[in-house]
Amino acid sequence: MSSQSRCVSAQTRQLSEDTVAGRPACVCREEPHAACLSCSHDPLLFLDVDGTLIPYDASMLAEPADVWAGRPQQANPNLGRINLALGPRLLALPAELMWAAEWMHDANDVISPLLGLAQLPVVDLDEPEMDAAEWYQLNWKTQTLVEVAAGRSFVWIDDEITGTDRGWVADNHPGPAFLFRVDAHFGLTEADLAAVERWLRNL
């Protein structure tokens, strides 16, 4: 296993423990790598899947049906809606990518190979502890993502972000944050990524 792989693996295992405990010290035992959240000061980019990378509009196939039918992932036709050109664009962003989706580690097994992404760290999305009134207004991911960011700048790309989430992050996260809501009908577009890139490069 390469040193970078060890770095990602260790970070994935200890991510929740370290961030909740408020100690973003490096978990690497070798030289820091960009893939390790604790080794870099680049912003984080939390990435959703359903409604974000996979549009809900069933007519929006990124590839012709006959091309998709030849792919090994064709058993799940929804994956044919993913715009494969998003992979290089995401990799070009000046941020550290993390999966923040119900897919959890399945995103690395299924989505990453399609987009040409490495095995990314995965946010452990346990249900946050909130009283009932706050729970029904706030996205179920919001509190966890702020804990994982631990004060670092971050972008969150999702189709279910609301003004309530933006307000809660503003009140509870000390660093810059850009909560970008995607239109789930179309999914993540080039225009969306251009807006995210502008924000990142203006930090």
CATH code for 41-201?
3.40.50
* Confidence at residue 67, expressed as pLDDT on a 0 to 100 scale: 54
- Answer whether residue 170 shows pLDDT above 90: yes
Which H or E run contains 45? strand 44-47
* Confidence at residue 60, expressed as pLDDT on a 0 to 100 scale: 62
* Confidence at residue 8, expressed as pLDDT on a 0 to 100 scale: 35
* Confidence at residue 75, expressed as pLDDT on a 0 to 100 scale: 55
pLDDT-derived band at 143, boundaries 50, 70, 90 = very high
* Confidence at residue 77, expressed as pLDDT on a 0 to 100 scale: 72
* Confidence at residue 40, expressed as pLDDT on a 0 to 100 scale: 57
* Confidence at residue 113, expressed as pLDDT on a 0 to 100 scale: 93
Mean pLDDT across the chain: 79
pLDDT-derived band at 72, boundaries 50, 70, 90 = low
- Each domain of the chain, given as residue ranges in start order, spans 1-40, 41-201
- Answer whether residue 25 shows pLDDT above 90: no
More confident residue, 36 or 177: 177
Q: Are 31 and 2 in contact (CB under 8 A)?
A: no
At 7, phi and psi to the nearest 5? -65, -50
- Answer whether residue 198 shows pLDDT above 60: yes
DSSP reduced 3-state for 140: coil
Q: Taking Cα atoms as reference points, which of 21, 33, 193, 150 lies closest to residue 11? A: 33
- Answer whether residue 26 shows pLDDT above 70: no
The alpha-helical segments, DSSP class H, found in the chain are 3-20, 65-69, 86-92, 106, 112-115, 132-135, 142-149, 163-172, 190-201
Least confident of 74-83, 100-109, 157-166: 74-83
pLDDT-derived band at 63, boundaries 50, 70, 90 = low
